A and B are shown apart, each in its own frame.
Chain A
Amino acid sequence: GAGVSQSPSNKVTEKGKDVELRCDPISGHTALYWYRQSLGQGLEFLIYFQGNSAPDKSGLPSDRFSAERTGGSVSTLTIQRTQQEDSAVYLCASSLDSGSSYNEQFFGPGTRLTVL
């Protein structure tokens, strides 16, 4: 596809349930980033991948959050035992690689997660 895609676009779940969010990066982009954006707040870094490896997981807020990337392409962000404070928009971005600070990150439309 032409851009970064994410699915689902909206997800409503009950507290305590697990959710999986998917990101399809731009073809050929080796770096992939996950961010969280709470209502009216700035972007909060969660994790990034260079290829299938995640050199920096320090942004994950708790051990309920995990992410994986397979085949250097699709990534899934999993939140276990969701809590109401997990409600936010989860944005994914990709770039050519993470080795240059000039590489633009292209963002997907986000997944709006609501935990009831």
Chain B
Amino acid sequence: KNQVEQSPQSLIILEGKNCTLQCNYTVSPFSNLRWYKQDTGRGPVSLTIMTFSENTKSNGRYTATLDADTKQSSLHITASQLSDSASYICVVSARDTGRRALTFGSGTRLQVQP
């Protein structure tokens, strides 16, 4: 069964600090992995997509890593800002079509405090 597990479930950090969110998956055959950011009361927005051959990808202060061998991904946030407070969802796609392609993690809720 395809599964995506995220940790921690929630995290509180001070503004300006760095943090790393984790995503472990068992999805086969693997196609790609996305990190989404979901602000409170809004729909998720894609931050980055990673394919099998990519190890690291950055989007501003967000850096995602992927280890396809261990089936782990991380999202590192540098110099956190109050606006980073949100839920971060890891979504893994299998080489399939339709909805069966996607497996969603339950998310990490990040709170950045001043």
Chain A residues in contact with chain B, CB under 8 A? Answer: 4, 33, 40-43, 45, 48, 50, 55-56, 59, 91, 93, 98-102, 104-105, 107-110
Contact = CB atoms under 8 A, between A and B. Distances in A.
A17 to B, nearest CB: 24
Shortest 7 CB-CB contacts between residues of A and residues of B: A107-B43, A42-B106, A101-B93, A101-B31, A101-B101, A48-B99, A98-B98
A15 to B, nearest CB: 24
Contacts of A56: 98-100
A115 to B, nearest CB: 19
A42 B104 contact: yes
A72 B32 CA distance: 27
Contacts of A45: 99, 102, 104
B44 A42 contact: no
B43 A93 contact: yes
Interface in B42-79: 42-46, 49, 51
A43 B91 CA distance: 10
Contacts of A41: 106
Interface size class on chain B is 20 to 34
A104 to B, nearest CB: 5
A102 B102 CA distance: 10
A42 B38 CA distance: 11
Question: Which secondary structure dominates chain A's binding surface?
Answer: loop
Interface of B: 31-32, 34, 41-46, 49, 51, 89, 93-102, 104-107, 109
Nearest to B101: A101
A100 B102 CA distance: 11
B2 to A, nearest CB: 12
A101 B2 CA distance: 15
Nearest to B45: A107
Contacts of B104: 42-43, 45
A59 B100 CA distance: 11
A58 B47 CA distance: 29
Contacts of A40: 109
Contacts of A99: 97
